Amino acid sequence: MGSYLRPRGLDAALRARAAGPCAVLAGGTDFYPARVGRAVEEDVLDLSALDELRGIRATGQGVRIGALATWADLAAAPLPAWCDALKLAAREVGGVQIQNAGTIAGNLCNASPAADGAPPLLALGAAVELASVRGARTLPLGDFLLGNRRTACASDELVTAVLVPAWGARTRSTFLKLGARRYLVISIAMVAAVVETDAQGAITRCGVAVGACSAVAQRLPALEAALAGRRLAAGVGAVVSPAHLAPLAPIDDVRAPAAYRGDAAATLVARALEKLAHEQAA
Ligand SMILES: Cc1cc2nc3c(=O)[nH]c(=O)nc-3n(C[C@H](O)[C@H](O)[C@H](O)COP(=O)(O)OP(=O)(O)OC[C@H]3O[C@@H](n4cnc5c(N)ncnc54)[C@H](O)[C@@H]3O)c2cc1C
């Protein structure tokens, strides 16, 4: 049995992290299921008393989400409309008990291909803030997520926040998730779309990301380029072509065959864009 440490300040937590290998524990909703049937042998660094890592607040540059913000915190936070994709994802992570315990940083650090937090944050252009006794650094989320269960978080680092840049007032965003049933399900495919328009409804900037169809959720840059300048109006989903999905590499697994996943991703992307067009017209 290893040691168990639950510091009350970030400095103490970072010193403990620097002192040697330890298992970091936040909400525990990925940590414990990965250890079913065996004792926790590692030294454990429990972050749950680090109140300075909680909280969601607007900054001059956008929104700063503390690493320990839970999905329930996110769903309840008064965030701008461009964060709707993230709020919709928050309501689809497990059930209410999981949403009350699971944190945004835990979701990203666990780096599951099916992490529901990744597509909305990638589409929004979010960054991850990391700290260690050596100092702090910020990485674009796309550089933080390296592969299935692999991140750029060094062994002496903790994620301290997720930084979401501001989008314009005419921005809409959404999140669609497909699983084997409607609720309480791990994604077969999920899509986040963030679209900013000018006063005439022409798309000036957008981010589209797909999860669970590659080792790491992927942005679709060719689709984003094809959408630029188009009107966000009914029919916009027809822009989506198979070539736009080239960054994806779906696999066969217990949840779905690769071909179904790829097809589902294309359908969800088109639906997400149509949904945003419909909301804009309403
Ligand atoms: C029944 C059930 C249903 C679920 N459904 C979904 C779902 O629908 N969608 C989905 O995406 N996920 C789902 N999950 C997975 C999980 O709930 C989420 O990924 C959650 O956000 C993990 O957060 P946590 O705080 O519990 O992480 P923890 O389990 O505490 O930690 C996860 C990993 O991240 C590391 N870590 C945590 N915080 C930090 C930090 N600040 N710095 C560095 N490393 C850190 C830990 O060391 C660990 O490796 C489900 C889990 C369960 C048990």
pLDDT at site 184:
85
Measure the CA–CA gap between 190 and 118, rounded to whole angstroms.
10
pLDDT in tens, 167-214: 999 999 999 999 988 888 888 999 999 999 999 999 999 999 999 999
Q: Measuring from atom 3 of ligand 1, which residue has the nearest CA?
A: 94
pLDDT in tens, 135-157: 999 999 999 999 999 999 999 99
The amino acid at residue 107 is N
Measure the CA–CA gap between 154 and 136, rounded to whole angstroms.
12
pLDDT at site 36:
95
- Ligand 1 atom at shortest distance from the alpha carbon of 67: 41
- Rounded to two decimals, what is the model's pTM? 0.97
Distance between Cα 72 and ligand 1 center (Å): 13
Q: Measuring from atom 33 of ligand 1, which residue has the nearest CA?
A: 110
Measure the CA–CA gap between 193 and 186, rounded to whole angstroms.
19
pLDDT at site 17:
97
Measure the CA–CA gap between 247 and 221, rounded to whole angstroms.
9
Backbone phi, psi, residue 17, to 5°: -65, -35
Measure the CA–CA gap between 205 and 50, rounded to whole angstroms.
36
Report the b/e string of 121-152 with b at 16+ CB within 10 A: bbbbbbbbbbbbeeeeeebebbebbeeeeebe
Q: Helix (H) and strand (E) counts for the chain?
A: 9, 14
Distance between Cα 107 and ligand 1 center (Å): 4
Structure tokens at 7: 């510091």
For the chain, what's the residue count?
282
Residue reference for tokens 């072509």: 241
pLDDT at site 252:
85
Distance between Cα 205 and ligand 1 center (Å): 31
- Ligand 1 atom at shortest distance from the alpha carbon of 29: 26
Q: Among 110, 121, 148, 153, say which to mutate for ligand 1: greatest number of ligand atoms within 8 Å of CB.
A: 110
pLDDT at site 282:
85
The amino acid at residue 19 is A
Ligand 1 site residues, Cβ closer than 6 angstroms: 23-31, 33, 47, 67, 93-94, 98, 101-103, 105-107, 109-110, 115-116, 153, 158-159, 186
Task: Give the helix/strand (H/E) hosting 232.
Answer: none
**DSSP state at residue 28:** -
Measure the CA–CA gap between 63 and 166, rounded to whole angstroms.
7
Walk along the chain (282 residues) and give the pLDDT tens digit of each residue: 689 999 999 999 999 999 999 999 999 999 999 999 998 999 999 999 999 999 999 999 999 999 999 999 999 999 999 999 999 999 999 999 999 999 999 999 999 999 999 999 999 999 999 999 999 999 999 999 999 999 999 999 999 999 999 999 999 999 999 998 888 888 899 999 999 999 999 999 999 999 999 999 999 999 999 999 999 999 999 999 999 999 999 988 888 899 999 999 999 999 999 999 999 988
- Tell me whether residue 43 is exposed, middle or buried, using C-beta atoms within 10 angstroms of its C-beta: 0 to 12, 13 to 18, 19 or more: middle
Residue reference for tokens 């944190």: 103
Structure tokens at 282: 């309403």
Q: Sign of the C-alpha dihedral, residues 246, 189, 27, 103?
A: positive
Report the b/e string of 245-273 with b at 16+ CB within 10 A: bebbebeeeebbeeeebbbbbbbbbbbbb
